[in-house]
Chains A and B, each alone.
Chain A
Amino acid sequence: MRCVSRLHKPIPVRPLLFAAGAVLLAGCGKKPEPGAAPVPSPPPAVQARPSAVPLEDIGMVHKEVPARLEDHAWDTEHLNDAAGQQLKALGKWLVLQTAQSDQTELPAVFSPALQSTPLRPESTTVLTQPPLTVQRMAGASAQPQSVDAAAFAGQLRPLLTAVPQPVEITTNFKIFRVTADPPETTARVELVARSASRSMQQIAHWRCRWEKRADGDPLLASVIVESFEETVTDTARTFTDCTGTLLGGDKAFSEHLAHSLDHWVARMEQQYVFGPSGWEGFAMGDANGDGRQDLYVCQPGGLPNRLLVQNADGTLSDRAGESGVDFWDQTQAALFCDWDNDGDQDLALAMIWGVLFLANDGSGKFQPAASKLSPEGMSYSLAAADFDADGDLDLYVCCYGKRSSGVEHRFLARPLPYHDANNGSRNMLLRNDRSWRWRDVTKSVGLHENNQRFSFAVAWEDYDSDGDLDLYVANDFGRNNLYRCDRTADSLTFKDVAAEAGVEDISAGMSASWGDADNDGRPDLYVSNMWSSAGNRVAYQRRFREGSGGLAAFQRHARGNSLFQNTGDGTFRDVSEPSGVTMGRWAWGSRFADLNNDGWDDLVVANGYITQPDAADL
């Protein structure tokens, strides 16, 4: 049923950027028109929307905006589109062929001269731990052999051997390298299959050569499988969704949290709801001292934050109102900590204007106890530690974007330059001076160095095992900070040693987590970034930014997540690619966590930026 019909008519486009800040333009050609220069205008209009939307297709020129001197079309992007369609057709065929017993017609994507290595190459088992088995390709790629289309297709079905009767199959081809001459693409081929009793995830890299045709899509001429990995579980039960069980009975969930952010963005003033990005996190702690973990869920402005208190049966009930923490202020992050060392869990909330501290009376009732305005930007991730070892907890506050003034929440800063932005806002270290007095000591301890970035995340750890806690800050649009703490009997300073330690990680840093990837006792570091297939394709071409010196930086920007292995001499080895952990997509929060209790830290990654009904992705 069509509930709401749509009328296509001109509607004024919202004015986005006031002329201020825009620069004198003499118009194209000729003598510049007198008066063309804007007189210094009123202050820039507030932005109608958050500007902190990271660009994915860095370096690419939008097809509809031919605005560069050089030829703007990347031929390779055409090849990518066409080749991507062909591979997709193949994937679709596999899904259909498996779902239906009758033969579906093979798509006409093959060159008569087709060559291929085995799609399921010889593999060795690299992990056996019930219910998990992991197999990987053994050795280098084979020499491709001539095969006909039918024989090639015949190799596709056996890819699903591990899951004999799948009820669910998804295929996904993402081309991340492309060259025009020779016409070649490398795609990440992902296959997930699940049945009532087994599940499987397969990841392969296919290097494909294409035969160009004047009048049609390119044909697949050769496939070399460069890597292959298959993870199988021989049980249907691995992780089970119990969200409904835990939350279904609570109105805060069914009426509020069960809706996507988009639902509220469409219905509430943008004055309060801070756009569709969903930068609202959560914190776990025991709010009421009953020994059970509770969950504080941050919400956009105009919607109350929720305190989901755990009941004896594990279910949760919202108690934000009666606990005094149902704030409408746009809140990004929360921390449960015993700030006053009185044995209960107090709170710190990272709000749009700064940090609010709340004291717990011991029974789960909170009272505002202190607040601290963030210097310039909105406060984001929070992390507490007793950095000065005086027995109370201090707080580091990440800040992002820039407020125009006071408590206004519009961004004015655009990251510049994109790959190494240093026009963000200052983060702060708040020292706990007891009795709810907090002092911004950022500068006096040396944390003001390199502190003008778009900081999303922070994590404390003693990476150099000298007994004091150091600080890692992940910044969007550029390099991250590793502040080494140098503590002596009578002095304490931090120094940014990210470059010499090898953890600058120039990229779109969104999350920081310390763990021990190799179980050598030394803290290793995992940082979320963006894995961008478009960025990868473009940034890896020679033509891209030739001679401009930015190439490597742009390549790094699209590489994805980073894993830094602590060598023990104060530096880190970048093992991201060999260890296979870069492809976290557009990653946000990520963490070390030993999911299978084998004593080895696994990694969990939360990702995806904005999914809306319009599937066409930017």
Chain B
Amino acid sequence: MAQSPESNTDSADGAYAKSWDTLGALIAQGKSFSGRERNCVFLNLGGKEVSFACASGAVHLDHADDSRAVIPVDWDGDGDLDLWYSNRSAPRVRFMRNDMVSGNAWLALQLEGRTSNRDAIGARAELTLTAADGTKRTLWRRVKAGDGFLSQAPKTLHFGFRAEEKVERLVIRWPAPGVDEDIVPVPDAGRLYKLTQAAAAHPVELKLLALAAGAATLPAEKPEVRAVLANRLPVPKLEYLDLQGHVKSLEGAQPQPLLVLFWGSWCPVCTAEMHEMVKRATELSGVRILALAVDTAKPEPEKSAISDVRAGLSGRGWKFDAGFASQATVRALAMLEARALYPERPLALPSAYLIGTDGKLAFIYHGRAGVEQLVKDAALAAQTPADPEAAAFPFSGRSAKKLFPLTVAGQAQTLRDAGYFVDARALLEQSLPNSGAGGWRLIADLEESAGRWDAALAAWKKALAFAPDDSATLLAVSAAMWKSGEHKEATAHMQRAALLNKDAADFQNQVGKVWQALGEHAKARDAFTTSLAAAPENAEVVFNRAVACQFTGATAEAIAGYESVLKLNPQLLDAASNLAWLLATAKDVSLRQPDKALALAQQLAKATAGQNPAVLDNLAAAQASTGDLKAAAQTAQQALALARATGEASLLPEIARHLEAYKAQRPWVE
């Protein structure tokens, strides 16, 4: 886990935010997080010094339930507080009856306000007790509505005390200011009273409930999953191999609901499921079934797998479509599943995906789905339910506010993030112009990533029409304009963005980044400088400015910048890396600090476990600057090998040039 930044901005590499993501991913993958913890009870030992004993296990209140909230209440009317727990785990509510009390006395009150609020919330009851030896004490309780965590205990006030203590006085301080009431005659112990403001107290008949002991029977958790999607997801083009090894593809609307079934020839549950499908094929006439063997989807498919699958299918009398899943087939459906469902688990076999006639994923199954269920679901998948949520949710209910349908932009984002640019674009185009600014922004982004600058600019402008006051969109438009040579308009848009954005420091940082992306480093530097004038301690901006200085040849300033970044956040590897490079290779000899460069580069290499080619290239330069050209050449060789292995081809020519210099007994100079 990355450390939290000390200020209210994340480190420039977003490490802190990433660590949250990592944590979330681990939980989605099924890890526990402070799990199996047992609930606690602390017993008040009484007396002058506040002291409690931990008694959880001794009193059987130590369930490992991932409990959330707790409510004390005398449920069975025997004069002591029982406990309700709400839990994350099963059962989601648990009731624990108090059988522990013996010999002590009690008194309970229900208050009702008149001039005070009717519930008497805020009223304080003070109960004065006298012990046999004449010592007195006053206990108090306040009527509350909501405390603890996400919970409300009943408004009944419960007092416990020693049997030898006599109730001497009961005062109610009603929430209406200055209204205190002495309750006369004082109530007896062992009863529940209803007290209405300025009226006589009267006891409430309490029914003693004889509750049988009995924990809940919990249903066995089955591994089979059937998920019904209210937000059906457009399925991108699905490619697979047919049994002859020809590439086939599926796309868009289907004449019948389509069940894509992933199975493995070695998987007995798959066999059972498919056997049942064959046996009851007539019932399944309303659905097209495509069984895709995943045997060949392994990174290195075994040759025997294909013949195994063919033999397996004919042996089973398989009457439906069949073929082989490629990694891309699995990935496409897994990507949709990842959007729909929270858990991130390895693919279970069998898994099946039921796609509606509209070409959208409607049901997901892991483990056996069962023919009966499939027949029912296929009928649903052939139509679009009038109320998709009611059709998808497991129990009846109602919505107070419209729930959160997945927007087209959201769906497109899912496709785009998984690399399905064409599908994302097609989906957005279909729904335009209804997808609003978000949709156009996505399109613009798609176009930019494809290098189609004019199309991107057009899309940004459309986005801007939907959100004319969004400074981020204005900035994006101005960047795209600049790229297209419309410098004047770009400047105008940027000025408008500045007017709309109140946080000058943040805005100028954004502007600087735009210039940097456009290769206008002097302008970038000015913007970062302005940002820092407003908020000098921002490590990210200091870093950005140092980068701009480096680009514009202001090496001394760049060095100073990186040094101050590292003071603000010593964990910014990129600052350290750039600094090491400059200290080793600065053209101006007076700026070079070979020893410091070497120390930094070594730390970096250690921090990245020697697995980063750019860092090793840095280290080589530092070694060379100290005169150790032999070591430099060795390190550069390692960097080259590593860059090849990790596929960072863009680094190769550069490192190779550096290596040549070291071999020629020359350190590298920028």
Cβ of A213 < 8 Å from any Cβ of B?
no
Give me the 5 closest cross-chain CB pairs, A-B, nearest first.
A281-B150, A597-B160, A278-B88, A418-B4, A192-B57
Cβ of A108 < 8 Å from any Cβ of B?
no
CB distance from B580 to the nearest CB of A (A): 7
Question: Are A263 and B95 touching (Cβ within 8 A)?
Answer: no
Known contacts A6-B347, A604-B41, then 4 further A-B pairs from the complex at CB < 8 Å, ordered by chain A residue? A4-B348, A5-B269, A40-B479, A407-B404
Q: How far does the alpha carbon of A462 sit from the alpha carbon of B142 in the complex, in Å?
A: 10
- Within 569-583 of B, Cβ neighbours of A (below 8 Å) are at 570-571, 573-574, 576-578, 580-581
CB distance from A406 to the nearest CB of B (A): 9
Nearest-neighbor residue (CB-CB) of B343 within chain A: A266
Interface size on A, residues (CB 8 A): 257
Q: For A336, list chain B residues within 8 Å (CB).
A: 145, 152
CB distance from B97 to the nearest CB of A (A): 5
Q: For B417, list chain A residues within 8 Å (CB).
A: 15, 18, 45
Q: A132-B55, A618-B23 are in contact. Are A392 and B344 (CB under 8 A)?
A: no
Q: How far does the alpha carbon of A42 sit from the alpha carbon of B33 in the complex, in Å?
A: 33
Question: Are B406 and A281 touching (Cβ within 8 A)?
Answer: no
Q: A351-B401, A510-B149, A617-B32 are in contact. Are A608 and B27 (CB under 8 A)?
A: no
Cβ of B48 < 8 Å from any Cβ of A?
yes
CB distance from B479 to the nearest CB of A (A): 5
Question: Are B225 and A590 touching (Cβ within 8 A)?
Answer: no
Question: Are B115 and A40 touching (Cβ within 8 A)?
Answer: no
Q: For A3, list chain B residues within 8 Å (CB).
A: 222-224, 269, 367-368
Q: A49-B342, A55-B23, A459-B144 are in contact. Are A31 and B59 (CB under 8 A)?
A: no
Cβ of A277 < 8 Å from any Cβ of B?
yes
A450-484 contact mask (Cβ, 8 Å, vs B): 1 or 0: 00000011111110000111000000000000000
Q: For B410, list chain A residues within 8 Å (CB).
A: 46
Nearest-neighbor residue (CB-CB) of A512 within chain B: B147
Cβ of A283 < 8 Å from any Cβ of B?
yes
Question: Are A295 and B54 touching (Cβ within 8 A)?
Answer: no
Cβ of B64 < 8 Å from any Cβ of A?
yes
Q: How far does the alpha carbon of A42 sit from the alpha carbon of B20 in the complex, in Å?
A: 21
Question: Are B53 and A596 touching (Cβ within 8 A)?
Answer: no
Q: Which of A50, A261, A600 contacts B92 (CB 8 A)?
A: A261
- Within 598-618 of A, Cβ neighbours of B (below 8 Å) are at 598-618
Q: For B406, list chain A residues within 8 Å (CB).
A: 271
Q: A42-B444, A583-B54 are in contact. Are A391 and B117 (CB under 8 A)?
A: yes
Q: For B31, list chain A residues within 8 Å (CB).
A: 612, 614, 616-618
Q: A4-B224, A201-B55, A203-B54 are in contact. Are A611 and B93 (CB under 8 A)?
A: no
Cβ of A291 < 8 Å from any Cβ of B?
yes
Cβ of B315 < 8 Å from any Cβ of A?
no
Q: A29-B578, A391-B115 are in contact. Are A335 and B152 (CB under 8 A)?
A: yes
Q: For B26, list chain A residues within 8 Å (CB).
A: 618
26 A-B residue pairings within 8 Å (CB atoms): A6-B349, A28-B618, A39-B514, A42-B438, A53-B20, A61-B1, A130-B102, A192-B56, A200-B58, A201-B58, A243-B215, A259-B92, A267-B226, A268-B394, A275-B342, A282-B84, A297-B93, A320-B397, A382-B146, A393-B117, A456-B149, A458-B147, A594-B81, A606-B149, A613-B30, A615-B32
Q: How far does the alpha carbon of A170 sit from the alpha carbon of B162 in the complex, in Å?
A: 34
Q: How far does the alpha carbon of A231 sit from the alpha carbon of B224 in the complex, in Å?
A: 44
CB distance from B146 to the nearest CB of A (A): 4
Question: Are A285 and B399 touching (Cβ within 8 A)?
Answer: no
Q: Which of B35, B68, B229 contacts A281 (CB 8 A)?
A: B68
CB distance from A1 to the nearest CB of B (A): 9
Q: Which of A238, A261, A381 contacts B60 (CB 8 A)?
A: A238
Q: How far does the alpha carbon of A190 sit from the alpha carbon of B62 in the complex, in Å?
A: 12
Cβ of B258 < 8 Å from any Cβ of A?
no
Dominant SS at the A interface?
loop
Looking at B10-18, B238-246, B247-255, B372-380, the stretch in contact with chain A turns out to be B10-18
Q: For A260, list chain B residues within 8 Å (CB).
A: 87-90, 92, 221
- Within 538-569 of A, Cβ neighbours of B (below 8 Å) are at 548-550, 563, 565
Question: Are A589 and B68 touching (Cβ within 8 A)?
Answer: yes
Question: Are B45 and A23 touching (Cβ within 8 A)?
Answer: no
Q: For B89, list chain A residues within 8 Å (CB).
A: 260-262, 608, 611
Q: How far does the alpha carbon of A578 sit from the alpha carbon of B389 in the complex, in Å?
A: 53
- Within 1-44 of B, Cβ neighbours of A (below 8 Å) are at 1-10, 12-44
Q: Which of B104, B348, B395 contacts A597 (CB 8 A)?
A: B104
Question: Are B36 and A257 touching (Cβ within 8 A)?
Answer: no
Looking at B70-78, B283-291, B305-313, B588-596, the stretch in contact with chain A turns out to be B70-78
Looking at B484-492, B607-615, B624-632, B659-667, the stretch in contact with chain A turns out to be B607-615
Question: Are A578 and B227 touching (Cβ within 8 A)?
Answer: no
Question: Are A457 and B149 touching (Cβ within 8 A)?
Answer: yes
Q: How far does the alpha carbon of A22 sit from the alpha carbon of B342 in the complex, in Å?
A: 24
Q: How far does the alpha carbon of A414 sit from the alpha carbon of B8 in the complex, in Å?
A: 10
Question: Are A56 and B214 touching (Cβ within 8 A)?
Answer: no
Cβ of B139 < 8 Å from any Cβ of A?
yes
Q: How far does the alpha carbon of A43 sit from the alpha carbon of B441 in the complex, in Å?
A: 8
Looking at A99-107, A143-151, A177-185, A299-307, the stretch in contact with chain B turns out to be A299-307
Looking at A78-86, A88-96, A337-345, the stretch in contact with chain B turns out to be A337-345
Question: Are B80 and A597 touching (Cβ within 8 A)?
Answer: yes
A3-43 contact mask (Cβ, 8 Å, vs B): 1 or 0: 11111111111111110011111111111101111111111
Q: For A275, list chain B residues within 8 Å (CB).
A: 342
Question: Are A338 and B51 touching (Cβ within 8 A)?
Answer: no
Nearest-neighbor residue (CB-CB) of A332 within chain B: B150
CB distance from A586 to the nearest CB of B (A): 4
Q: How far does the alpha carbon of A248 sit from the alpha carbon of B218 in the complex, in Å?
A: 9
Question: Are B99 and A239 touching (Cβ within 8 A)?
Answer: yes
Q: A9-B330, A55-B1, A238-B59 are in contact. Are A68 and B607 (CB under 8 A)?
A: yes
Question: Are A607 and B614 touching (Cβ within 8 A)?
Answer: no
Q: For A11, list chain B residues within 8 Å (CB).
A: 330-331, 334, 338, 344, 346-347
Cβ of A298 < 8 Å from any Cβ of B?
yes
Q: Which of B52, B178, B209 contacts A603 (CB 8 A)?
A: B52
Cβ of B297 < 8 Å from any Cβ of A?
yes
B371-394 contact mask (Cβ, 8 Å, vs A): 1 or 0: 000000000000000000100111
